[in-house]
Structure 1
Amino acid sequence: MIKEQPNRDEVPFWFDPLCPWAWITSRWLLEVEQVRPVRADWRIMSLAYLNLVQHEGKGLSEDYLDRMTKAWGPVRVCAAAAEHGGRDVLGPLYTAIGTRLHNQGRRDDPTVITEALAEAGLPDSLAAAATSTEFDQLIRDSHDEAFNEVGLDVGTPVLRIGGTALFGPVITPAPRGEAAGRLWDGLVMVAGTEGFFELKRSRNSKPSFD
């Protein structure tokens, strides 16, 4: 185990708190931290901004459009929290929000945000950001940092290994222990391959949060 090793490579990881696939991948990255000398650098992107603004809502069902409209709230609160306490608060806040939304299945529970803010040691006044556009420019700036590199034909998660931004990995359930480390090793090799663009197969499983 190398958990206590001080010299770690930072891995920027862009997430939208509403995305179940990003949530699973984020839990995998926390496992990687235990077995490889890396540290997650949590950053925000916005599925609402990507789908409703950059893609102008084209090709989306009414149900998905409604879901994307609601997706503004959690990511706006994350942006407000980062502005209030610095980007280091995003990890604990993301864990608090994601546990409630995904593991506990409380997507329609209005108390999720205030509970998560309290768990992360943040003021509940930040919950008001969910219905405000005050922090939208911060969201766009963070979002664009990733998507200007990785392109607009992907979603979340996005991570950067070395100087290469990649969409994914999309996995379920999250590998644990050394299995998580082996997947990381493979991604390092992929990211270091000049001209590599895509590796994909169709999903045949729903997200598993075990």
Structure 2
Amino acid sequence: MDADINFYFDPVCPFSWMTSKWVRQVQKQRDYTVDWRFISLRLINAQVGYDAHFPPEYEAGHTTGLRLLRVAARARAEHGREVIAPLYAAFGAHIFDTAPNPADKRTEVEMRKFCGTREFAEPILAEAGLPLGLAEALDDASWDLEIQQETDEALSLTGKDVGTPIIHFEPPAGFAFFGPVISRLPRDDAAAELWDHVVGLARFAGFAELKRSLREPPQLAAFGVDADTDGKQEH
């Protein structure tokens, strides 16, 4: 598929989800085509000891991400690349844009594991207009080779010491970058302006990194914080 943007995502990464929503804003304004591709945090960290390097919920979350990517890989193989945009949108809406139910007493680890089950995936497949049988891929590790290849492809564009998402602009010869990591959506009238600033930096071959570690939590309902695009928080 020839696209203006290749966007590599892991469905359990909140920052990837936030950035993807911003890219969709820009896509509508600039009429970009986007190829939604795969990058697995679980495969990136395959050789890392989770107990030593991450909080306890990370392994469960990253494993769920891989399981959902297996479903996406099978959906793409059987129904075409165009189904990934609505499928990822449905994954993200249910994982991140749905507020926690106060009556749900499951732990965070249990909730992250639940998102990798057929009970979670099948209604989302139905919402995306896809067969429920695709959920059988959750446990089918034969898709991992394809996901690994796409993960390696993404990291070859930026170097390995990054996370998700990775955006490749004007592929195959264009430039790529990790992020940008944003915690809230810009207003619609500012979305394309922000895009132009990011692309302007990334287009310069000598640019490597711009970072600050002080950041607000993602303004997403799943984290108990929602915000409009002006940044007014609602708890």
TM-score in terms of structure 1 length: 0.88
Partner residue, 2:19: 25
Residues 36 and 85 in structure 2, CA contact (< 8 A), matched pair in contact too: yes
Match for residue 63 of structure 1? 57
**Structure 2 match to 1:102:** 96
Letter of the aligned partner of 1:80 in structure 2? R
The answer to whether structure 1 residue 158 and structure 2 residue 166 are counterparts is yes
After the TM superposition, which of the residue ranges 172-181 and 101-110 deviates more from structure 2? 101-110
Among 173, 186, 207, the alignment partner of 1:196 is: 207
Q: Residue deviations 1:22-75, cap 9 Å, x none?
A: 00100000100122242222111101101124x464623443223323332111
More deviation in 189-198 or 64-73? 64-73
Asked if the contact 1:34/1:177 (under 8 Å) is kept, the reply is no
Q: Please report how far the alpha carbon of residue 105 of structure 1 lies from its aligned counterpart in structure 2 after TM superposition.
A: 4.7
Q: Contact (CA 8 Å) 1:157, 1:168: kept in 2 or not? A: yes
The letter for the 2-side match of 1:153 is: D
Amino acid at match of 1:171: I
Partner of 2:185: 174
The one of 91, 114, 122 equivalent to 1:114 is 122
Alignment of structure 1 residues 138-157 onto 2, 5 Å: 138-157=146-165
**2:196 maps to what in 1?**
185
Number of residues paired by the alignment?
202
- The DSSP-based 3-state class of the residue aligned with 1:207 is coil
Aligned with 1:14 (options 8, 15, 40): 8
CA distance in 2 between counterparts of 1:176 and 1:127 reads 36
Deviation at 1:192, TM superposition (A): 1.5
The structural deviation recorded for 1:9 is: 6.1
Do residues 93 (structure 1) and 101 (structure 2) align?
no
Of 120, 123, 127, the match for 2:131: 123
**Which one-letter code corresponds to 1:18 in the other structure?**
V
Distance of 2:213 and 2:169 partners within structure 1: 24
Q: What is the aligned-residue RMSD (CA, Å)? A: 2.0
Of residues 160-169 and 62-71 in structure 1, the stretch that sits farther from structure 2 once superposed is: 62-71
Cα distance in structure 1, aligned partners of 2:42 and 2:211? 24
CA contact (8 A) 2:19 2:180 kept: yes
What does 1:41-60 align with in structure 2 at a 5 Å threshold? 41-53=35-47, 55=48, 57=50, 59-60=53-54
Structure 2 length normalisation: TM-score? Answer: 0.79
2:144 to 136, 142, 154: 136
Give unmatched runs, 5+ long, in structure 2.
Answer: 101-111, 221-226, 228-235
Does the CA-based 8 Å contact 2:71-2:138 persist in structure 1? Answer: yes
